Amino acid sequence: MSAVAGSERRARAVLSFLAEPGEAALGALLKSCGPGEILDAVLSGKEPRAALPAVGRDVPGLASAFGRWRARAGRIPSPARLEAWERRGMRLVCPGDPEWPTQLDVLGDARPLMLWVQGSADLRFACLRSVSVVGARAATGYGQHVATEMAAALAERGWAVISGGAYGIDSSAHRGALGADGVTVAVLASGLSYGYPQGHHELFAAIAGQGVMVSEWPPDRAPTRPGFLVRNRVIAALSGGTVVVEAALRSGALSTARHARDLCRPLMAVPGPVTSDLSAGCHEIIREWGAVCVTGARDIIEVVSPSGEGLGPRRRGPACPRDSLDPVTRAVLEAVPARTGSGPAAVAVTAGVDLNTAIGCLGALAAAGFVERCVRGWRLRKDA
């Protein structure tokens, strides 16, 4: 179900082997040139301005960027290698694809070129109602406990939990959401098949089974130290708000918080004992950055969804009886799972209708109160 032409998709994939995520020069070029055009220019060996006459304004650092990208031309994978990754369940999601999370567009020139995505949930749907829960790797028992409980409570109320897959707070958040049968999204700073940290391979498999694994890096890429900071902008931009559970002063754990603040996304922090160095960063961003002091999922949902949507049950019965539905709509309704949710394409296949028909029927069924959107697409409303 890709809306983006194969040539552009391939060009973005190849460029992701040449440029580093977040490189401003590439983001600036993409404002006036297509990815294929840029790739051709890089591979042409010509001066950038000669190869890309369409680039209007001056792009700072373009010549050196071309140099770096050309130096990596040997890394370009064969189409067969890309396909092998895709056969192993890793899908390329590009801007314009239905699964593309459009909230990343606020990143401007630093918007990811594309994302490698692996897992059963739909990335876009999952992130529509999501919270990033992040913090220190060397977390305390207190921090891990709070992160687990908070993530579980968020998941129980239908919110996806986004984090970075690291040790400490990140893994507690993922595990809390998984334990509550919720959807969780891990945004890695390594490639997906590399899967850093390696001690989390089982956790990553569980996340892929019940949520989504995401990376901007080619699947086999090892992480680099600056890559973690670059990755954090995606964690902040994907979600409706960021919660820092534990962080020391001036620690890397605050970099996601800084991105959330700079993007004007809701920023929250969990307080802790003032005697704990690992709560000092939380207290500082509450005091100095205006992060909201949150103590549980209820507080968080009040911040990210001020209307109170998602705070508790809001059940009413459907507007008309099932029997009154036409046969096609009824077939689509029967293809919608009760709990876990399915994307429109899966519903269409199960119902034996085409995608547009499925999307139209799902809209009508939602209006009538039979189905509802959830992190993985559509599911039956419990009262239907």
Return residues touching its own copies (CB under 8 A): 142, 145-146, 270-275, 279-280, 282-283, 286-287, 292-296, 299
Q: Which is nearer to its own copies, 114 or 300 (CB)?
A: 300
On the 0-12 / 13-18 / 19+ scale of CB atoms within 10 A, 74 is exposed
Whole-angstrom distance, CA of residue 313 vs CA of residue 49: 58
Which is nearer to its own copies, 91 or 298 (by Cβ)? 298
The 8-class DSSP code of residue 119 comes to S
From the CB of 14, what's the least distance to its own copies, in Å?
47
Which tokens sit at 196? 């850093």
Helix ranges (DSSP H) in 157-217: 169-179, 201-210
Task: Answer yes or no: are the C-beta atoms of 184 and 174 closer than 8 Å.
Answer: yes
- Residues composing the chain: 384
SS3 120: coil
We find the least distance from the C-beta atom of residue 175 to its own copies, in angstroms, to be 18
CA angle at 263 for the pair 118 and 119, rounded to the nearest 5°? 10
Q: Is the Cβ of residue 43 or residue 293 nearer to its own copies in the bound state? A: 293
Cα separation of 127 and 56, whole Å? 35
Shortest distance (Å) from residue 156 CB to its own copies: 18
Least gap, CB of 136 to its own copies (angstroms)? 16
Of 183 and 294, CB closest to its own copies: 294
**Considering the complex, what minimum distance in angstroms separates the CB of residue 293 from its own copies?**
4
State the burial class of residue 186 (Cβ atoms within 10 Å of its Cβ: 0-12, 13-18, 19+). Answer: buried
Rank residues 14 and 304 by Cβ distance to its own copies and give the closer one. 304
* 122 vs 246 by CB, closer to its own copies: 246
Q: Verify cis geometry, omega within 30 degrees of 0, for the bond prior to 344.
A: no
The H or E element that residue 292 is part of is strand 292-293
**The dihedral of CA 180, 185, 191, 197: what is its sign?**
negative
- Give CA separation, 79 vs 11, 20, 265, in Å: 11, 20, 38
φ, ψ for residue 296, nearest 5 deg: -175, 180
Nearer to its own copies by Cβ, of 178 and 303: the residue is: 303
Nearer of residues 13 and 297 to its own copies, judged by Cβ: 297
Contact call for residues 38 and 26 (beta carbons, < 8 A): yes
CB of 163 to its own copies, least distance (A): 18
CB of 149 to its own copies, least distance (A): 9
Q: How far is the CB of 375 from its own copies (least distance, A)?
A: 25
